[in-house]
Amino acid sequence: MKLEGSAAIVVGGASGLGGATARLLVERGARVAIIDLDADRADDLASELGDRALALHADVTKEDEVSAAVEQASGQLGPLRLAVSCAGIGWAERVVGRQGPAALKPFETVIGVNLIGTYNVLRLAAAAMKDNEPDGDAERGAIVLTASIAAYDGQIGQTAYAASKGGVVALTLPAARDLARTGIRVCTIAPGTFDTPLLAGLPEPAREALGASVPFPSRLGRPEEYAALACHIAENAMLNGETMRLDGALRMPPK
């Protein structure tokens, strides 16, 4: 896929991994719809990136909102060729703690956003791509999902988060197989510990300790490194049905 001149959506694109991806796509010449729950932040980034960026509001768990955003993006930017799904939340709670069993609602909420929300983006973006004119590789589009190394190395208290991200990993290959006949590729990136808003609230010593635990490079990942891989997936037609760890060889300990 040639990014220059292509239309893309980045869901959860107002900050963090998604924000860096939206920036890089615009730099590469793509037209990008930044879709986010935080409308103000999406507006700010789109204004900064200029006339090749569009800000749209949507909650990934709401079918009608994502559908409307995808339709609007396609209508204003042209046929959708790339979708990058970065929206996600975290939650930490042991299965049984001092106060008894974990609350069920937070588990449902994390699964709803991270897994069901990701699937919602996947299916609606693919539906928008299926009638595109194929390129020289008979490709009509590419979709990049976001998991986490917690899918493999979930830590104490991460049952909800690990289960949600493990679900994203598990659906990647069958989704790619489902969409192969339409010429749409699906890959997933599983980041390690990245310098995103999710970690921004930690004290600096804790952030430094997280970075030091990465074998090499011994630091937190940079959102721009996620963005670079997302763009490479779009450009490399043989990448399909794969989940790629982006973690500096990190394997998370139990806690």
AA identity, residue 250: L
Asked if the structure places residue 16 within a domain, the reply is yes
State in Å, rounded, how far the first CA of the chain is from the last one. 40
7 bridge partner residues: 31, 80
What is the reported pLDDT for 6?
A: 97
Is residue 152 annotated as a catalytic residue, yes or no? no
Asked if the structure places residue 187 within a domain, the reply is yes
- Residue of 94, 88, 22 whose CA lies nearest to 55: 22
What is the residue-level pLDDT of the chain in tens, covering all 255 positions?
999 999 999 999 999 999 999 999 999 999 999 999 999 999 999 999 999 999 999 999 999 999 999 999 999 999 999 999 999 999 999 999 999 999 999 999 999 999 999 999 999 999 999 999 999 889 999 999 999 999 999 999 999 999 999 999 999 999 999 999 999 999 999 999 999 887 777 788 888 888 999 999 999 999 999 999 999 999 999 999 999 999 999 998 998
Asked if the structure places residue 241 within a domain, the reply is yes
Asked if the structure places residue 214 within a domain, the reply is yes
Q: For residue 180, give the CATH number of its domain.
A: 3.40.50.720
Asked if the structure places residue 252 within a domain, the reply is no
What is the reported pLDDT for 207?
A: 82
Q: Identify the helix (H) or strand (E) that includes residue 54.
A: strand 53-57
What is the reported pLDDT for 255?
A: 85
Asked if the structure places residue 124 within a domain, the reply is yes
What is the reported pLDDT for 212?
A: 92
What is the reported pLDDT for 196?
A: 86
Asked if the structure places residue 173 within a domain, the reply is yes
- Residue of 243, 165, 225 whose CA lies nearest to 21: 225
Rounded to whole angstroms, the Cα distance separating 61 from 151 reads: 21
- Domain hosting 53: range is 7-245
What is the reported pLDDT for 74?
A: 96
The total of structural domains in the chain comes to 1
What is the reported pLDDT for 86?
A: 97
Give the CA radius of gyration of the chain: 18
Rounded to whole angstroms, the Cα distance separating 164 from 110 reads: 7
Question: pTM (2 decimals)?
Answer: 0.96
Active-site pick, 119, 152, 161, 226: 161
Q: Which two tokens stand for residue 63?
A: 């079918």
Asked if the structure places residue 84 within a domain, the reply is yes
